[in-house]
Structure 1
Amino acid sequence: MKTVLSTKILTPSQKELFLNSGLGLVEYDALKIEFLDTKIPLDHQNYIFTSRNAVSAFLQQTKGLDLSSFNVFCVGEKTKSLLESNGLQVVQMTEYASDLGEFIVENHSTEAFVFVCGQQRRDDLPHIFSKNNIWYKEVVVYSSILNSKAFFTDFEGILFFSPRGIQSFLLENTLKNSTLFCIGETTASEAKKYSEKIVIANKPTVENVLVQAIKELSIKGD
């Protein structure tokens, strides 16, 4: 049986996609999230989130508060869903941070923002904001720690969801002849440093990465 390694623990509904695929699945978290003791200022109107971890930290600090007056800008459908399910109004959601930055430049250039993020956040938004003189305050609320683990199995496919996930995996493993399934262009850019066997998801979601892996590896047969 062909086996796929996921570098993120999947939800039960995500695992169900594998049930009838004929593929084996091994999973672990290549990254561990550590929340920091950072106070988020709540006296602003516009907040930016590029991950669900940042949203979780924000929700922890705003328990019991009326969140309807905040305007929220975010990256990713799952991030948007978490925000809206907790009563926050999402003004704009994009798939990539660079697209969100351009939207803000074009439509909200005179406003101020609080960017709630992780310690290893990418430079896309700060670069765009600095270049266009948009005022923002960056608040770092969590850190992702490399969680290395050695595997002694050959995997036909490896699922990667971030550049740091690739770095974590490579601490104790090699890619051998595996096909690398990447959630987006940023992750794929890191993967291309080590392999040419790369498939990029059509949409930057975990589910689409799974679908691409099942489709690609099932087609090839046993």
Structure 2
Amino acid sequence: MRILATKKLTPIQKSMLKGYDVQQKEMISISYGENFIVNEKISHAIFTSANAVKSVFERNKNKKDNFDNVYCVGAKTKSLLASYGVKVCHVAKNASALAAILVEKEIEDLHFYCGNLRHQDLPLAMAEHGIMVTENVVYQTELSNHCFEMSFDMVMFFSPSGVMSYVNGLNSCNVKAICIGYTTATEAINSFEEVFVAEETTVESVIDKLKEISSH
């Protein structure tokens, strides 16, 4: 069975796929903005990706004390925020679920830290309830749009932009798409008939889901 991982796996992660023909290809590249400094107190901040966290706290060295209430999507994003000493008020599986939480809190304004290819689900949901969202684009995602000469039985996707890059490369969508989360799966459903979502938002969980599906 031939598998495509749309990002480089660690040796341990690849060892979990022993017995499979695994191909690896980075389908996106990330660049972080410089000199993005937060000098004011941010009452409510949203992070929906680990890359946004890296840009704000690692690359641009912003202080966690400037962020009062922080909300995020995904266990990986929460874990990374915690590594910088940032306490997360609420974590959700996807942007829509997070939007529902924020609406209940009757927040008046939010700061959304995101990439250039962010989905508009959360800002649109906030706008419907009269909540002002300030979008801060803190990293850039570039798609490779790579076209593969070989075909695959299953493809592992780790971001919506990874799905977009694969599809834009005119690769076959007659394969099983194994996705790291619901936002990624929502993008995949537009092109793939068979879409599966990992139990947790980790690479290891995606691999576990792939092995579960392939055993049936």
Fold equivalence (TM over 0.5): yes
3-state SS, counterpart of residue 141 of structure 1? strand
TM-score when normalising by structure 1 = 0.84
Selected match of 1:84 from 82, 85, 94? 82
Cα distance in 2 between the residues matched to 1:161 and 1:124: 18
Counterpart in the other structure of 1:74: 72
Give the aligned partner of residue 124 of structure 1.
Answer: 121
> Does residue 11 of structure 2 align to residue 23 of structure 1?
no
CA RMSD of the aligned region, Å? 2.3
1:159 to 147, 156, 161: 156
Preserved contact between residue 118 and residue 140 of structure 1 (Cα < 8 Å): yes
Higher relative contact order (CA 8 A, sep 6+): 1
In the alignment, the residues of structure 1 paired with residue 135 and residue 37 of structure 2 have an alpha-carbon distance, to the nearest angstrom, of 10
What are the Cα deviations for residues 55-85 of structure 1, in whole angstroms up to 9, with x where unaligned?
011112235x453863211111000000011
Residues 153-194 of structure 1: CA distance to partner in whole angstroms, max 9, x if unpaired? 232211122333223123434226432222334433443443
1:23 deviates by: 1.1
**C-alpha separation in 2, matches of 1:216 and 1:66:** 41
Cα drift, residue 149 of structure 1: 2.6
Q: Percent identity?
A: 35
Distance in 2 between residues matched to 1:116 and 1:187, nearest whole Å? 18
AA of the residue aligned to 1:197? E
Report SS of the residue matched to 2:172.
coil
* Alignment: residue pair count: 214
| Aligned residues of 1:181 and 1:209 also touching (Cα < 8 A) | yes
In structure 1, stretches of 5+ residues that fail to align are: none
Structure label with greater radius of gyration: 1
Residue 135 of structure 1 is matched in structure 2 by: 132
Question: How far has the Cα of 1:144 moved from its partner?
Answer: 1.0
Counterpart Cα distance in 1 of 2:137 and 2:164: 22
Give, in whole Å, the separation in 2 of the partners of 1:193 and 1:186: 12
Question: For residues 160 and 14 of structure 2, what CA distance do their matches in structure 1 show?
Answer: 23
